[in-house]
Amino acid sequence: MNYRHAFHAGNFADLVKHAALLQVLARLAGQPLSVIDTHAGRGLYDLAGAEARKSGEAEAGVVRLMAAADAPAEFAPLAAAARKLNGGGPVRRYPGSPWLIAEALRPGDSYLACELRPEEHQALSERMKGKRGVRTLCADGYDLAVAQTPSSGRALVLIDPPFERSDDYARIVETLAGLRGRNRAATALVWLPLKDLETFDGFLRDLEDAVEAPFLVAETRMRPLTDPLKMNGCALVLLGAPADMAPPLQAICGWTARTLGENGTAKVYAV
Ligand code: SAM
């Protein structure tokens, strides 16, 4: 396991994922909610640290978002979270999914954050200490996701792997099929890289076969997909999507592709 999210925190893909996550959480509010984050990371990222400075990805992502005058309203909750975390000053810290989810919890909600890497989990558990309704586990999130999802009521499973292993796609399909069998009311939000279309289309076909339910796909193509060795964009897949998610996803992905990409495009569609 070599992946370190600190190099990528606050990049275009985090903006898309986290803005969409906050839109989903807002729509699931109103009844008790269980959230399971299968790949949680460390919770909070230091953009002044060596990793973020070396990659420059946050400069090209959250720093540009915070300076933009034309970002759509769907980015407002994420921008507000970043502003709050940085006391209104320059963005030196960026919130990961655990931070955003823990801040959005209401009384009666619960959140389980799984992180496999011991040092990342240590940082995560320190960040989450004392937060109401939050548990962290140093564990494989795929192994726990289905069993930890309540069999009825509102649930959200966030799946955001590093895609270092070739079996990530198969494990996502397996997890979503298990989730669908366990709780039909559950929502899942999955983040995937877009490198070449063959891999992504193959994943969608496998998912369609395994999960007999419609899902929503949001593609953010930062550049034409001509070099399969590059991360040319990212995709979100939503199972059990709340009603009316397509317009906010189009706004989020469209702005990101147009503003932060090179001849970028975005599309949202149901499968
Ligand atoms: N979801 C986080 C966020 O939005 O802030 C970022 C997560 S990062 C893309 C992926 C994380 O998954 C890494 O911290 C990595 O150590 C961890 N990881 C890798 N394999 C895992 C597994 N099978 N179960 C749980 N965590 C895993």
pLDDT band (50, 70, 90) for residue 188? very high
The number of beta carbons lying within 10 Å of the beta carbon of residue 62 is 26
Determine the atom of ligand 1 nearest the C-alpha atom of 99: 5
Which atom of ligand 1 lies closest to the CA of 96? 5
User: Is 168 within the bounds of a domain?
Assistant: yes
| Stretch 37-49: mean pLDDT | 96
Let me know if residue 132 belongs to a domain. Answer: yes
Residue 64, domain extent = 5-192
Position 232 in a domain: no
- Averaged pLDDT, 80-100: 96
How many alpha carbons lie under 13 Å from residue 248 in its C-beta half-sphere? 24
- Number of domains forming the structure of the chain: 1
Whether the pLDDT of residue 186 is over 80: the answer is: yes
Report the residue among 85, 115, 128 best suited for mutation to probe ligand 1: largest number of ligand atoms under 8 A from its CB.
115
pTM, whole model, 2 decimals? 0.98
Residue 197 in domain = no
C-alpha dihedral sign at 182, 184, 187, 191: positive
Mutation test residue for ligand 1: of 3, 16, 36, 39, the one with most atoms within 8 Å of CB: 39
CATH code for the domain in which residue 102 is found: 3.40.50.150
Rounded-to-integer distance, Cα 237 and Cα 216, Å: 6
Expressed in angstroms and rounded, the spacing between residue 117 Cα and the centre of ligand 1 is 8
Position 174 in a domain? yes
Domain presence at residue 175? yes
How far apart (Å, rounded) are the C-alpha atoms in residues 167 and 164? 9
Atom of ligand 1 nearest to the CA of 14: 4
Q: Does the residue 246 lie in any domain? A: no
pLDDT attached to residue 227: 84
* Residue 38 belongs to a domain: yes
* Pocket around ligand 1 at a 6 A CB cut-off: 1, 3, 5, 17, 38-41, 96-97, 114-117, 120, 140-142, 160-162
Q: How far is CA 76 from CA 66, 73, 150, 173, 211, in A?
A: 10, 5, 31, 32, 33
For residue 113, the CA-to-ligand 1 centroid distance in Å is 10
Residue pair 3/164 in contact by the 8 Å Cβ criterion = yes
Residue 140 has pLDDT above 90, yes or no: yes
Q: What is the pLDDT of residue 94?
A: 98
Residue labelled with tokens 């994943």: 203
Phi, psi values for residue 215, rounded to 5°: -140, 160
pLDDT at 228 over 90: no
Best residue for ligand 1 mutational test, from 55, 97, 116 (most atoms within 8 Å of Cβ) = 116
Which residue, judged by its Cα, is nearest atom 1 of ligand 1? 40
Q: How confident is the model at residue 150 (pLDDT cuts 50, 70, 90)?
A: very high
pLDDT in the model for residue 206:
97
The residue contributing the CA closest to ligand 1 atom 9 is 162
Which pLDDT score, from 0 to 100, does residue 121 have? 98
Nearest to 157 by CA among 105, 114, 213: 114
Q: Cα–Cα–Cα angle for 123, 129, 133, nearest 5°?
A: 120
Both tokens assigned to 164 = 């270092």
> Residue 94: which of 140, 137, 60, 130 has the closest Cα?
60
Give the pLDDT band of residue 232 (cuts 50, 70, 90). very high
* Confidence (pLDDT) at 21: 98
